[in-house]
Chains A and B, each alone.
Chain A
Amino acid sequence: MPQNEYIEESIKRHGRRLDFAERKRKREAREAHKSSQFAQKVTGLRAKMYNKKRHSEKIQMKKTIKQHEEKNAKQKDAEAVPEGAVPGYLLDREGQQRAKVLSNMIKQKRKEKAGKWNVPLPKVRGIAEDEMFKVLRSGKTKAKSWKRMVTKATFVGDGFTRKPPKYERFIRPSALRYKKAHVTHPELKATFCLPIIGVKKNPQSPLYTQLGVLTKGTVIEVNVSELGLVTTGGKVVWGKYAQITNNPELDGCVNALLLV
């Protein structure tokens, strides 16, 4: 007979052996195999007793699992009324895009007046001039360096013609020009490929706005007439603002989020 709690005492004094955790894990892993071996081998009364015990264990286990599942699963409220009521004549019709009227004009105007934009990307990384522009050397001996090439994606309007080389201070490479943007409607959770109308504001600097540089966080105006949104006055909305959410110069496409 053991005298006193000498094992616990020893653990308290000296700690466990260093591989205790590992041995324990292994023993536990082996447990299933061991019990299975026993279950296959056992016969007679012992088998009967063992099976009975195992049976009640299993029931208990299943009950516990079910309880946990119930706790995790979201309970459906029987009384809840679903959102988005529609009249009977619109029920069961497929392919209906139920776009909400996005803005009311007054709200948007008020925002514009305050000069504040509640935009999805409120802060942008600053871009230094030497990252934005590449210096092009010109002149016979390549001694002049007043020419700049924009190294970011740009939007260039339809009617643009390049100036003669002598007067062209900023070159916007045609490989980095974009005419369309993938605009996501935040409420419809749908994305549309829409033509860009213009660059409203590049947060980096007014110069970039003027040049039509598309960087992350830039607010662009897109043509949403395809979406069929209407104003409260019953006119079709033509242009709406969207903010660019990716780095177009790295990704090769322009992704934007519609500002509602």
Chain B
Amino acid sequence: MAEEKANVIAQFYNEEGVASGPALSLPVDVNQEHLALLLNSLLGTEEDPLPYTFEIAETEIVNTLDQDIIQSGKHSTEETFKIIYRPQAVFRVRAVTRCSSSLTGHTDAILCVQFSPCGTMLASGGGDTTVRIWDLNTETPQHQLKGHTHWVQHVSWSPNGKYLASAGMDGLVIVWDPKTGKQHATLKGHQKWVSALAWEPLHLNSACRRLASSSSDGTVRVWDVVKKQLEFSMAQHTAPVMCVKWAGDGLIYSASRDKTIKVWASTGPHPGKLVKVLSGHAHWVTTLALSTDGVLRTGANDHTGKMYKDEAEAQKRALQRYEQAIALNPERLCSGSDDFTMYLWPNKKEEGAEGKKAAPKRMVGHQKTVNHVSFSPDGRYIASASFDKSVKIWDSRDGKFIASLRGHVAEVYQVVWSSDSRMLLSCSKDSTIKLWDIKTKKMKMELPGHLDEVFTVDWSPSGDKAASGSKDKTLKIWKY
């Protein structure tokens, strides 16, 4: 018997478990490209082939079927293989490898950076009470926005890119016009410092009028930035609210140090009504992530870089993108806490399907506080950054642990995904940023250069640049 010519019987299944095409006889040395070619011809997409990943019993085929599946000893060539395929992003983001510039200007630590949804502008806020907007083509400062009187903790671009909101320790939320660098509105009302901001998704409101802010005084307030006034306020948390998210179905999620996550309605006859309380965490809930975060943040901007004529068209495109995303992976919420665990909360659909209340998935494994969680833009994976120096990858469908990424020598502060979900950036107290490859689950690149703790990192939605802000008062732009 010549082993190198051995064949196996295999059949393709999509993620829902529906078979695509008949069972096939495949040579064992078939690799990922061969399978992709075959699948594209089976599905009739040879003209415009899509990239896929393939798995057999939760083992991904990275090299060949023989090496990855059969030689592991768990499967024999006798059985019929069930190959599950998953579509990947049609574009590829190149790994950032070098620092293209160090931008100085802030006179104290930089606490937050964020790219605009179209990826052409960058905003940063810091301990020197200013918000700065940087021009990414020339990598020079564009506007210096003065208005806060205390550290700026959060900056957030509206999904249509027309506004930039910043929030700080002084309890103010200031909305800026990024084109001119002028103040658009100052929203006063919070008694204590504001921890996070969330814009209403573009597909719900084409003008991006509403903005939610969570504060240490235990309230979540929703503002109208056109009328420049408070729309409604939600005050049922008994401890500081640390994070707020505005989901695509119109619900607002807020995580608080009173160990609960509260869900609020933003529309309907009673906006601001408490819909549900999600409890389960045993300590402060510090961070939230939605599986649609990537889509909601970018709104209508996709990888093609197309511009839209008017708001209605952009809204249509945003809705289309949102529906595509939830068709692939329904909108889910994941929360990270100081009790070292994460919870994956069941969504409406899952709760209805099982008739009774579906239990949330508890994700354990971290040995210290989970500081930041983030869904990959395609909604397939969850990455979590923890003070135990590791980044962990989890499956977003069932909350199963996939891999632990070790390499940092101090607390990991934040993680951010590339827009094609193939790579991950993490920033740490050890003054480095590390780039991880999801396919191999290994470190791809180490990006040293900062002189002190790196507090924040962001990867441009267009994928060509990443930015990081550090305690050493510099902002670095990373490129491929």
Contacts and interface: CB of A to CB of B under 8 A. Distances in A.
Nearest to A83: B108
Nearest to A85: B127
B109 A232 contact: no
B395 interface: no
A112 B41 CA distance: 66
A233 interface: yes
Nearest to A93: B369
A23 B286 CA distance: 74
A228 B387 CA distance: 13
B150 A81 contact: yes
A235 interface: yes
B163 to A, nearest CB: 21
B409 A236 contact: yes
Given A87-B455, A101-B451, A228-B410, A234 B286 contact: no
Given A104-B451, A234-B431, A86 B195 contact: no
A234 B153 contact: no
A87 B196 CA distance: 11
B392 interface: no
B468 to A, nearest CB: 13
Interface size class on chain B is 35 or more
A159 to B, nearest CB: 28
A234 B127 contact: no
Interface string B160-198: 000000000000000000000000000000000101100
Interface stretch (B59-67, B203-211, B312-320, B442-450): B442-450
Contacts of B453: 101
Given A100-B452, A230-B430, A234-B428, A85 B372 contact: no
A79 interface: yes
Interface residues of A, number: 21
Contacts of B287: 89
**Chain B interface SS verdict (over half):** loop
A86 B111 contact: yes
A234 B409 contact: yes
A230 B472 CA distance: 14
B413 interface: yes
Contact of B111 (A85, A100, A234, A236): A85
Interface string A71-87: 00000000101011111
Interface in B127-155: 127-129, 149-151, 153-154
Contact of A84 (B127, B149, B196, B472): B127
B429 A81 contact: no
A88 interface: yes
Interface string A223-247: 0000010111111100000000000
Nearest to B170: A81
B418 interface: no
Contacts of B129: 81
Interface in B373-424: 408-410, 413
B432 interface: yes
B448 A234 contact: yes
Contacts of B472: 101
A86 B109 contact: yes
Contacts of A232: 431, 448-451
Interface in B92-121: 108-109, 111-112
Contacts of A83: 108, 127
A87 B452 contact: no
Given A232-B431, A234-B446, A88 B154 contact: yes
Interface of A: 79, 81, 83-89, 92, 100-101, 104, 228, 230-236
9 contacts: A81-B149, A87-B413, A89-B372, A101-B451, A230-B430, A231-B431, A232-B448, A234-B408, A234-B432
Interface of B: 108-109, 111-112, 126-129, 149-151, 153-154, 193, 195-196, 240, 242, 286-287, 371-372, 408-410, 413, 428-432, 446, 448-453, 455-456, 472
Given A89-B371, A230-B431, 20 more contacts: A79-B149, A81-B150, A83-B127, A85-B109, A86-B455, A87-B112, A87-B456, A88-B111, A88-B154, A88-B193, A88-B196, A89-B287, A230-B409, A231-B431, A232-B448, A232-B450, A233-B431, A234-B428, A234-B448, A235-B409
